[in-house]
Amino acid sequence: MFSIKKYGFLSTIFISLFVVGVISTNKESYSLRTLENQDQKIEFFSPVIQKLVDKGIPYEFVLALIQDSSVNFNERYVQLDVSLRKSQQPSSPAKSNIYEKLVNDEAVSKIIKFIKNNRAILDSAQSKYSVHPEILASLLWVETRHGEYLGNHQVVSVYLSLALADQNDFIEFNLKRNKDKLKPTKKELVELKEKLLQRSKTKANWAVNELVSIYKNKDKFPMPITQIYGSWAGAFGISQFIPSSFARWAKDGNNDGYFNLFDLEDAIHSAAHYLNKHGFGPSEEQQRKAIYSYNHSNTYVNTIMLLAKKATEKMNLVDTNQITLPTLPLIGE
């Protein structure tokens, strides 16, 4: 059993100064480039190392991961927000229930072009998983603009950073952030602390489990795990899967032996497989529930459904206009 000491006196001073420095400078991003000593870097991540080893991950693997020069801490990944009851107001009737910036004529045109350019792949995915091309094309548009925006955040660093969220320094850090934003009363402060503590534990445990999933499926990735980049939330590829989703739902769409979500064919089949396994069916209710499982947001669901509807209508209109009617003889001929 691996055992590592909790922060000693000097380490506590170091970590405290580190966090205070992050807060006082209010930097959007902070890396461990300042930790030139590998021993300091290992001790900084020691709570995560212990959790991973307790989960059965070999210490040598975790140590090599931490020591990789590309792996670092980023303050953005550990930022957590909570809401108070007073801030959970019903949505205004005037408030849009779609992502307005993603729903326009240009978006619909690009979705239609994507369908035409990838018709064979989309049809193959539909035949296997019964998910409409318009839905898949719209979903991948919302996720990454069909692969145009994949994110530049190293996925391993995202989860290693977030796994520290339940440490006291970062709980205090997030408490200060939320107090400054929400300006709670004394009574509300009690609620805020309780919610933040619970969220910190939940997110840290979730991050650890995602790191475990990365380790267990490292041989399925088409590249070294430290070379996987994605969103600040830890999702990656054209279809934006988190590691545990990759483990369960990723598909080798082109049968090349790799599960590569940065490859369009694999990404399309993986997204279709995910929706299929989450109940996608012919009814709108089934479709909405499946898409909601992909991202727990009604605004997300509404946006994809609307884009798919607009794309379908426009393609049907174009097809109708392109029908060539037979030439009939004039009356009397």
pLDDT in tens, 188-229: 999 999 999 999 999 999 999 999 999 999 999 989 999 999
Q: What is the mean pLDDT of residues 55-66?
A: 97
CA-to-CA dists, residue 269 to 2, 46, 137, 260, angstroms: 40, 39, 12, 11
Q: What pLDDT does 45 receive?
A: 97
140-178 tens-digit pLDDT: 999 999 999 999 999 999 999 999 999 999 999 999 999
pLDDT at site 36: 62
Query: What pTM does this model have?
Result: 0.84
What are residue 193's phi and psi, to 5 degrees? -65, -45
**Res 87: pLDDT:** 52
Q: Is the pLDDT of residue 44 over 50?
A: yes
Model confidence at 32, in pLDDT bands (50, 70, 90)? very low
CA distances from 102 to 236, 300, 302, 304 (A): 20, 10, 11, 9
What pLDDT score does 35 carry?
58
CATH no. for 100-152+219-321: 1.10.530.10
CB neighbours of 247 closer than 8 A, spacing ≥ 6?
Answer: 213, 216, 217, 220
Average pLDDT over residues 89-113: 82
Most confident of 36-45, 86-95, 148-157: 148-157
Query: Which pLDDT value is given to residue 317?
Result: 79
pLDDT value for 118: 98
Q: Where are the domains of the chain?
A: 9-88+156-208, 100-152+219-321
Taking residues 224-240, what's their average pLDDT? 97
Strand pairing class (153-154; 229-230) = antiparallel
pLDDT (tens digit per residue) in 45-57? 999 999 999 999 9
Task: Tally the C-alpha atoms within 13 A of residue 259's C-alpha that lie toward its C-beta.
Answer: 20
For the chain, give the mean pLDDT: 87
pLDDT at 29 over 50: no
Q: What pLDDT is attached to residue 96?
A: 64
pLDDT on residue 85:
83
Among 24-38, 55-69, 300-314, name the one with the lowest average pLDDT: 24-38
User: What is residue 319's predicted lDDT score, i.e. its pLDDT?
Assistant: 53
Look up tokens 């060539």; give the residue: 324
Least confident stretch, 16-20, 110-114, 247-251, 316-320 = 16-20
Task: Please give the pLDDT value at position 37.
Answer: 79
How far apart are the C-alpha atoms of 59 and 289, rounded to whole Å?
Answer: 40
For residue 230, list its beta bridge partners. 153, 236
Using pLDDT thresholds of 50, 70 and 90, give the confidence band for residue 318. Answer: low
SS (H, E, C) the chain: CCCCCCCCHHHHHHHHHHHHHHHHHCCCCCCHHHCCCHHHHHHHCHHHHHHHHHCCCCHHHHHHHHHCCCCCCCHHHHCCCCCCHHHCCCCCCCCCCCCHHHCCHHHHHHHHHHHHHCHHHHHHHHHHHCCCHHHHHHHHHHHHCCCCCCCCEEHHHHHHHHCCCCCHHHHHHHHHHHHHHHCCCHHHHHHHHHHHHHHHHHHHHHHHHHHHHHHHCCCCCCCCHHHCEECCCCCECCCCECHHHHHHHCCCCCCCCCCCCCCHHHHHHHHHHHHHHCCCCCCHHHHHHHHHHHCCCHHHHHHHHHHHHHHHHHHHHHHHHCCCCCCCCCCCC
